[in-house]
A and B are shown apart, each in its own frame.
Chain A
Amino acid sequence: SQQGEEDPQALSIQEGENATMNCSYKTSINNLQWYRQNSGRGLVHLILIRSNEREKHSGRLRVTLDTSKKSSSLLITASRAADTASYFCATDALSSGNTGKLIFGQGTTLQVKP
């Protein structure tokens, strides 16, 4: 029941440029979260946006949510080589109640060239 679809699958940019990743999902949600994964490591939580929010900022991260289109985007501004990683969106579906079960997208692999 994978419900998140992300695009692009891979993104390669120069240091200092902005990176935008998109996520689409299928059912109604409580919230949508973005995680980062360095190669061969666990995931690290970046930012959470609730279903009644439209935009959220955290440092160089900006997340938008459009519940009418069931989509979200993650913008990383002024990228650095250290931002090279895979980024996943994850949805907390309304139907899951308060179980904390998240449904993850396929991820976007970001490469930032120095």
Chain B
Amino acid sequence: SSVLTQPPAVSVAPGQTASISCGGDDVGRPSLHWYQQKPGQAPVLVVYDDSVRPSGIPERFSGFKSGNTATLTISRVEAGDEADYYCQVWNSNSNIIFGGGTKLTVL
């Protein structure tokens, strides 16, 4: 079965850069997306189609993909960026797959 692998946790100091990876065979397929989820809230789309920011998402959020690894980068991290982050693709069988999630802690 398809699996998207994310690190369980990433920690970063305010003002620094956080990088969250998403790996797996299906990462190489077109269009990988990233969601931010704060406690008690629904997920919010922060990057779609590998690297496109939806309207209203700060430029500090960027996405990049190379081969079977995608990376969400958050520059100049703020306390308000502390959240869980999930990657998502449609796999080769047209099933929707989410990564296991990464908890971003701002120190």
**Do A and B make up one complex?**
no
Chain B residues with a Cβ under 8 A of chain A: none
Q: What residues make up the interface of A, taking CB atoms closer than 8 Å to B?
A: none
